[in-house]
Structure 1
Amino acid sequence: MEAQLQFFKVFTDNPTKGNPAACALLSHWPDLDVLQAIASEAEQVVTAFIVPVADALYQYQIRWFSCSQEINLCGHGTLAAAALVRQLQGEGCYQFLSQHGDLEVTASFSALQMVLPQWLPCPETQTELPPALLACQSIDYFQTRDLVLVLADEQAVQQFQPDFTLIQQLEQHALIVSAFSPPDTYVLRYFAPGIGINEDIATGSAQCSLAPYWFKKTGRTEFKVRQLSLIDACFSVAINTQQLHLKAQAVNLPHLTRLIATIA
């Protein structure tokens, strides 16, 4: 089986900015080692693979891979998949089904809007911070899938010095540091060395933890989001008691498209 591997920049409409991702539409699932080999060779932050659901025009199964392993619930990989489907089928509301939850993306030519789950803090599983993280003087912390440190302000987030060896030893999926920047913005950085991503450029799934927290703290229902990585990327989120919506854009990099061969 042959397929096209296409490349995108997500959380931007500028091909020189945003978070890189690759995506391939397959007719069926090859073996795990085949998918991992393709993702490793692609050398992107994440590579998404989608397979159409039989007799369902707007539904796809989806899986996400870093260069080193399969990962779960990747927002920016899903947006890349939605951009690919938009390119092939046009505007529509598409569902992406995975073992870690289902995501829905409304794809128009002007924007991609994704519905995300809300992850609330788990106080019953709260653990003490390692001493090295206590030293960073967070004003709050909580855990969902990820461990979140709330810092005093944007400058503290920008100046945070990650210890990747320590972070890799955490039991949580990743470490997020965040702060509120009045009047309507929260900032973050996202570290996931355990899945081969030391610091992510822009992270959709981080908003599952952060948007509910900042909604509770500020009462705001709409936020601008800035991830303080080395490459500019921007998006917005809107939240209510039922749903969380992330709005962004993605741009295709057609000159990078390549054919891939998978085992039949």
Structure 2
Amino acid sequence: MRMLVVDAFTGRAFAGNPAGVCLLTEAADAGWMQRVAAEMRHSETAFVRPVQDADADFELRWFTPRTEVALCGHATLGTAHALYGTGAAAAGAPIRFRTLRSGVLTVTAEEDGALAMDFPVMRADPVEQPEGLAEALGATVLHTGRNAQNDLLAEVPDEACVRGLSPDVGALTGIDARGVIVTAAADPGREHDFVSRFFAPRVLPGDAEDPVTGSAHCALAPYWAERLGRDALTGYQASPRGGHVRVALHGDRVVLAGRAVTVLDGTLRA
């Protein structure tokens, strides 16, 4: 079957966040999908197949090398890009994805070439700072919140702090969270409004950093909209690969927009 690798939230190859995209023709076993994701070794591999639903055009599931996840932004963006690019979805028509844990997600193509995803807001409600978090990050933490995905949002003093993070991954594994979203307001004069990085040692291998995380922006969008007084913002995820995510808050929904580039198009033989 056809397998692609797509760099999401970027307009150039080898930047943004790479996602595997497997174009299924029929339903697949979850154990097989998990093994494929482990073989691909990207932070997420998406599995998509057409369905005959009144409310959806495709079924979509996401797997890290270790586990299935409830929501993934960059792999959804990569999947939509792959479907448009291969002709599996009609050019210009919205794509409706049925997901197991996040309902129906819609992606539309914008005039400037970006793809816009309609996602649920995942507000991070304020919580007491977990013991050991600041030490694990190696940074002063000004505020912490937790969302429904059990991700911690941690605000640190400034953009330089976010960019310079070199956390203790072993210590982060001991924090009760799926992942940690570290964020700060952008420096004056930047083209973005806030910066972030995302570390998830419990679900990601290696250095545990996800290059550009769409689902994290479902928490970042309402957080910074409240602080900056605007519902339309641009985030920059300051990982070594880096990527921009435009966000627009609409009540309990958030539109995440970005570009994508196909870097590999081949055949999965197993």
Q: Tell me whether the two structures share a fold, i.e. TM-score over 0.5.
A: yes
Q: Deviations over 1:44-73 (max 9, x none)?
A: 221100121125596211111122222220
Write the letter of the residue equivalent to 2:78: A
Task: Return closer, same or farther for 1:42/1:229 CA change in 2, 3 Å cut-off.
Answer: same
Report matched runs for 1:26-41 at 5 Å. Answer: 26-41=24-39
The alignment status of 1:104 with 2:109, answered yes or no, reads no
* Paired residues for 1:63-142 under 5 Å: 63-87=61-85, 88=87, 89=89, 90-102=91-103, 103-108=105-110, 110-123=113-126, 126-133=127-134, 136-142=139-145
Answer yes or no: is the 8 Å Cα contact 1:58–1:93 preserved in 2: no
2: CA distance, partners of 1:57 / 1:240: 21
The count of aligned residue pairs is 256
Worse-superposed segment, 16-25 or 36-45:
36-45
Q: 1:206 and 1:72, CA in 2 relative to 1: closer, same or farther beyond 3 A?
A: same
From 227, 232, 250, give the equivalent of 1:217. 227
1:54 aligns with 2:52: yes
CA pair 55-70 structure 1, distance change in 2 beyond 3 A: closer
Distance 1:106 1:153, change over 3 A: same
Q: Hey, what does 2:178 align to over in structure 1?
A: 173
| More displaced 10-residue stretch of structure 1: 172-181 or 131-140 | 131-140
State the alpha-carbon separation in 2 of the partners of residues 128 and 11 from structure 1: 30
1:58 and 1:129, CA in 2 relative to 1: closer, same or farther beyond 3 A?
A: closer
The alignment yields a C-alpha RMSD, in angstroms, of: 2.1
Taking the TM superposition and a 5 Å limit, the aligned residue runs for 1:157-172 are: 157-172=162-177
Q: Where does the alignment leave 5 or more consecutive residues of structure 1 unmatched?
A: none
Q: CA contact under 8 A between 1:178 and 1:187: conserved in structure 2?
A: yes
Q: Secondary structure at the match of 2:212?
A: coil
Consecutive unaligned residues in structure 2, runs of 5 or more:
none
Are 1:153 and 2:158 matched, yes or no? yes
Deviation of residue 176 (structure 1)?
Answer: 0.8
In structure 2, relative to structure 1, the CA distance for the partners of 1:238 and 1:28 (3 Å cut) is same
What does the per-residue CA deviation read over 1:16-66, in whole Å, with 9 as the maximum and x for residues that have no partner? 322111111212222222112222222322110012112559621111112
What amino acid does structure 2 have at the position aligned with 1:107?
A: A
Among the aligned pairs, what percent are the same residue?
A: 30
Contact 2:129 2:144 in 1 (8 A): no
2: CA distance, partners of 1:120 / 1:13: 28
Counterpart of 1:186 in structure 2 is: 194
C-alpha distance in 2 between matches for 1:224 and 1:122:
22
Which one of 250, 257, 262 corresponds to residue 265 of structure 2?
Answer: 257
Separation (CA, whole Å) in 2 of partners of 1:93 and 1:147: 32
Q: What is the letter of the counterpart of residue 188 of structure 1?
A: S
Looking at structure 2, the residues matched to 116 and 58 of structure 1 have their Cα atoms a distance apart, in angstroms, of 15
Q: Secondary structure at the match of 2:209?
A: coil
TM-score, reference length from structure 1:
0.89
Matched to 1:106, the amino acid is T
